Amino acid sequence: MNSSDNNKKRALGGELVIPVCAIVFTLYYFITIIDSPWTAQVSAFFIGVILLLLSVMFIIRCVLQVRRGEADYSLSRLFSGADIRSGRLALLAVTIGYIIVIDYLGFTITTFLFLFLGMLVLNQWRNKGVIGVLSASMALGGYLLFILAFDTRFPRGPFEIFMKAMLGDGG
């Protein structure tokens, strides 16, 4: 089989992720309710068994397609070099960092840092000035609208505490 044939094959590896996750989760769920009263089991078993059947049917369909040479188990539909080039993986890392840090630095500072880094990563580290101004105005705008005006309980940090001290009870 030459390379052009391989290119035409459907990459099924990615498509199997959801059914495999569904099977693993359903089995785990069954374990958690095995000793529970029937009220906790009845609908979960009903839905879970159907989900298992559907997932197994899909896996069998995939296996048959691979056997016929129409597909392979490649994950190329899900992961590719473009994920690194487009900055997607870096954005994911920055997002995880955002959730971790926001608990300590609060909404305004963390949102500024996240927007600044996220936009820089996606913009190939260009337009730092524009991105800096945009990030700062978005973060401050969010602070003014959601924290100062609505008193929404966003995660608070040094900036919010400082502003609260400056403005009295307003922040």
Partner 1 sequence: MEVDFQQLGEILAHTVGFWWVIVPTIFLGLIVGGIPGFSAANTIIILLPLTLAMDVEVGLVFMVALYSSSRMGAGIPAILVNIPGTAGAAATPLDGYPMTKAGRGQQALAMSFVASTIGGLLTTIMALLAMPILAEVGYYMHSVEMIVVMLFGISLIATIAAKDTLKGLIAGFFGLMIGAIGTDVVYATPRGTFGFLELYDGVPLIPALVGLFAVSEAFLIIEQDSILTKRGRELMRESSWAATFEGAMIALKRWWHIVWTSIIGLIIGVIPGAGASIAAFVAYQQSRTYSKTPERYGTGHPEGLIAPESANNGVTSGTLVPLLVIGIPGGATAAIMLVVMQYHGVNFGPTLFLDQPEIGYGMFMAMLVTYFLMAFTILPLSRYMSRVTMVRTVYLAPMIISFTLVGAFVPREYMFDMYLGLAFGVIGYVARKTGYHVAAILIGVILGPLLETYFLRALKKSDGDILTLFSSDLGNVLWVMLVLSFVAPMVFDRRRKKKAEGKTS
Point out which residues bind partner 1 (CB under 8 A): 14-15, 17-19, 21-22, 25-26, 28-29, 32-33, 36-40, 42-44, 47-48, 50-51, 54-55, 57-58, 61, 77-78, 82, 86-88, 91-92, 94-96, 98-99, 102-103, 107, 111, 114-115, 118-119, 122-123, 131, 134, 138, 142, 145, 150-155
Give me the least distance between CB of 78 and partner 1, in Å please: 5
**Which tokens hold the place of 13?**
């590896």
Nearest-angstrom CA–CA distance, 7 and 10: 8
3-state secondary structure of 81: coil
Question: Between residues 3 and 37, which has the closer beta carbon with respect to partner 1?
Answer: 37
The two tokens of residue 46 are 């009903």
Q: How far is CA 131 from CA 21, 70, 120, in A?
A: 38, 46, 7
Q: Nearest-CA neighbor of 135 among 118, 116, 154?
A: 116
Give me the least distance between CB of 164 and partner 1, in Å please: 17
Query: Closest CB to partner 1 among 150 and 162?
Result: 150
3-state secondary structure of 60: helix
| CB of residue 129 to partner 1, shortest distance in Å | 14
Cβ distance to partner 1 smaller for residue 131 or 163:
131
DSSP conformation letters of 54-103: HHHHHHHHHHHHHHTTSEE---TTT--THHHHTTHHHHHHHHHHHHHHHH
- C-beta closer to partner 1: residue 1 or 122: 122
Residue nearer to partner 1 on the CB measure, 1 or 13: 13
Residue 128 CB, nearest distance to partner 1 (Å)? 13
Phi, psi of 20 (to 5 degrees): -65, -45
